[in-house]
Amino acid sequence: MTAKLDSATPGDDTSVPIRDDSSLGEKPIGPLDPGTVNSALISAGEVVYEWHPKSDHMSWSGNVSDVLKIGDASQIVSGRGFAAFLDPSNKTSPYDVVMESRQTDTGDGVPFHMEYRIKPDGRRSDRSIWIEDRGTWYCGPDGRPDRVVGIVRRNDERHEREKQLEYLSRFDPLTGHVNRARLEELLTIAKANQERKNTSGAFLLAAIDNLALINEAYGFDVADEVIASVGQRLSGFLRGGDSIGRYAGNKFGLVLCTCTEQEMYAAAERLIESVRSTVIGTSSGAVAATVSVGGVDIPRSARTVTEAMTRAEEALDQAKNQHNQPFVVYQHSQKKESVRKRNVLYADEIISGLNDRRLDIAYQPIVDAGSKKPTIFECLLRVRRSDGSMVSAGYLIPVAEKIGLVRLIDHRVLELATSVLEERKDVALSLNVSGLTASDPVWIANLKSFIGSRPDIAERLIVEITETVAIQDIEESTRFVSSLRDMGCRIAIDDFGAGYTSFRNLKTLNVDMVKIDGSFIDTLAHNSDDQFFVRTLIDLAKNCNLQTVAEWVEDEQSAALLREWGVDYLQGFLFGAARMEVPCDAAASPVPQKPGTRSVA
């Protein structure tokens, strides 16, 4: 049953010697030894065959049993015999590809390529292997296929990889539930069925609470065990026809095909209770877990699948922020919609302002309390309108912080401020940075590149961070302050008194000055409580070797009280509004150093 492997062409059964055209002259060499051919084919995992459809005779290379794992090769000496080993689930067969072909052999044969499965142990066995079949058929005098030669090879590994990739494209490997893409497909199908049958359903998002704390306390491996266990518990309470999938890292999405709003509440309560009722056993011991759930009624509260998902996320956010109410159903709010539309407009204004260089800074003087001469100028953000007017951009900052654009603004302000410091050696500036920027290594790197080998610029730059930002993460704030001080810059705590910073924290941060929140200065002249508070702050700051700045100083009576109590600097409309240029008569005196601080030279 050995095919003639040494044929010159598929239609020629005669052996043709191979010639050696080396310098030794033409020397005929005999055909390759069949053993060598079989060894090469075995190592390549390939089998050569020849089939004559009219006689149904098949010939195979001698390695057929080694590659195809068919124990008795005599069973496949005919096309019909080989067909008996084909997997019934195949969508096509060699007979179909060759004998049912609509192509015509014009003399060079008709090539073919296909893949199918065979069952080496017979059709009733469970084991099957994938093979790739590639060859050429040649027609006889009647135009029908008369001779087929080809090579088959096993390609189980590729199909296993494809099978795994197909699985991963639809399922989450950790939990075994469908992934987000497939979950979205299932939600689309469910929504279409609800619309067709005029029924209602729901989409729920369940998130494991405080998963970051579990990661930190037990490690990521244990957190993965918790995620998998929670997924199992949630799926155990679903009805037939409902679906569950892993929506994100700690979130599961649940599609409830048919349910009323009351049934949605009942389902959510069962899901929440299924997780919190008993601890979860892990490789590191028992771990307690809870979930928060957000839900949306479909189609009443969501016209599209995208709306269903985003509104379920919104409800989930509310549930996570309300510890006494772990389940929240989305409710439409006209106020929230208005806020979102406003945020979109403001975001466009920020981006266009940055791209068109319409975001600029104005400079408000901070005067020495004794001499009343400007010593520092605070950089305040302004935006240029289409008519050329400049207006305060303060209304943009909360939105910029919320949507992550504030870093771009802080980079722009830094660029403008350092440019002025380079041009005006008689000017000292202070600028505010957001909490996001305070943890942004890129901003620090840009500041270093701006300062370069110019320590005089650093000495004339004060960076302000708000009190609330400073106390959110004392360690992070301390690193930020330390980086700036290493460059020679000074640090101020802005809006001091609005939060709950202790003077012990101020000493830990090692800042240079505090700016007393303007809300305590605004009514200082007529409010005894504010007077007591501000005077106490000034005294405590002095004891900690901190300079003080009083903001929002609007009247001479308040200014006099502040001077009497020993404040160092005053800022407010009493001493000048913000201007788009630094005055030419700005104070040339250097920014006073914090007592005991060495200047970086």
Q: What is the mean pLDDT of residues 554-567?
A: 95
> Which element (helix H / strand E) includes 245?
strand 243-248
Q: Give the model's pLDDT for residue 463.
A: 95
Q: Considering only residues 262 and 492, tell me which one the structure prediction assigns the higher pLDDT.
A: 492
Residue 114 backbone zone (phi > 0: left; psi -120 to 50: alpha; other: beta): beta
Could you tell me the pLDDT band of residue 13, with boundaries at 50, 70 and 90? very low
Could you tell me the pLDDT band of residue 23, with boundaries at 50, 70 and 90? very low
Q: In this model, does residue 598 exceed pLDDT 70?
A: no
Q: What is the pLDDT of residues 126-139, one digit of tens each?
A: 888 898 999 999 99
Residue among 399, 457, 407, 413 at smallest CA distance from 435: 407
Q: Give the model's pLDDT for residue 589.
A: 47
Q: Domain segments of the chain: what residues? A: 18-160, 169-332, 404-575
Q: In this model, does residue 6 exceed pLDDT 90?
A: no
Q: Which residues contact 332 (CB under 8 A, 6 or more apart)?
A: 301
Could you tell me the pLDDT band of residue 587, with boundaries at 50, 70 and 90? low
Q: Which residues contact 524 (CB under 8 A, 6 or more apart)?
A: 530, 531, 534, 558, 561, 562
**Alpha carbons 580 and 35: distance in angstroms, whole number:** 91
Q: Give the model's pLDDT for residue 444.
A: 92
CATH class given for the domain over 18-160? alpha beta
What are residue 242's DSSP bridge partners?
none
**Alpha carbons 480 and 440: distance in angstroms, whole number:** 9
Q: Give the model's pLDDT for residue 11.
A: 42
Q: In this model, does residue 9 exceed pLDDT 50?
A: no
Strands, E assignment, 87-144: 110-118, 129-139
Q: What is the mean pLDDT of residues 296-300?
A: 87
**Alpha carbons 47 and 63: distance in angstroms, whole number:** 7
CA 384 remoteness from chain centre? 34
Q: What is the mean pLDDT of residues 331-340?
A: 75
Q: In this model, does residue 29 exceed pLDDT 60?
A: no
* For the chain, percent of residues with pLDDT exceeding 70: 89
> Which element (helix H / strand E) includes 507?
helix 503-509
Give DSSP secondary structure letters for 187-233.
Answer: HHHHHHHHHHHT--EEEEEEEETTHHHHHHHH-HHHHHHHHHHHHHH
Question: Which range scores top for mean pLDDT: 404-413, 503-512, 553-562?
Answer: 553-562
Q: What is the pLDDT of residues 60-72, one digit of tens each?
A: 988 888 888 888 8
Q: What is the mean pLDDT of residues 470-497?
A: 87
Q: What is the mean pLDDT of residues 380-385?
A: 90
Residue among 268, 263, 260 at smallest CA distance from 326: 268
Residue among 471, 460, 479, 478 at smallest CA distance from 497: 471
Q: Considering only residues 559 and 262, tell me which one the structure prediction assigns the higher pLDDT.
A: 559
Could you tell me the pLDDT band of residue 500, with boundaries at 50, 70 and 90? low
| Range 169-332: architecture per CATH | 2-Layer Sandwich (3.30)
Sign for the pseudo-dihedral over CA of 156, 161, 162, 163? positive
Query: Residue 559: what residue type?
Result: A
Q: Give the model's pLDDT for residue 548.
A: 95
| pTM confidence score | 0.58
Q: What is the CATH number of domain 404-575?
A: 3.20.20.450
Q: Give the model's pLDDT for residue 597.
A: 41
Could you tell me the pLDDT band of residue 514, with boundaries at 50, 70 and 90? very high
Q: How many residues does the chain have?
A: 601
Q: In this model, does residue 504 exceed pLDDT 80?
A: no
On average, the pLDDT of the chain sits at 85
Range in 163-167, 202-206, 261-265, 421-425 with the lowest mean pLDDT: 163-167
**Alpha carbons 511 and 482: distance in angstroms, whole number:** 9
Q: Considering only residues 301 and 50, tell me which one the structure prediction assigns the higher pLDDT.
A: 50
Q: Give the model's pLDDT for residue 501.
A: 59
**Alpha carbons 240 and 255: distance in angstroms, whole number:** 11
Q: What is the mean pLDDT of residues 180-207?
A: 89
Q: Give the model's pLDDT for residue 475.
A: 84
Please count the helices (runs of H) and the strands (runs of E) in the chain: 21, 23
Q: What is the mean pLDDT of residues 560-581?
A: 94
Could you tell me the pLDDT band of residue 298, with boundaries at 50, 70 and 90? confident
**Alpha carbons 55 and 40: distance in angstroms, whole number:** 30
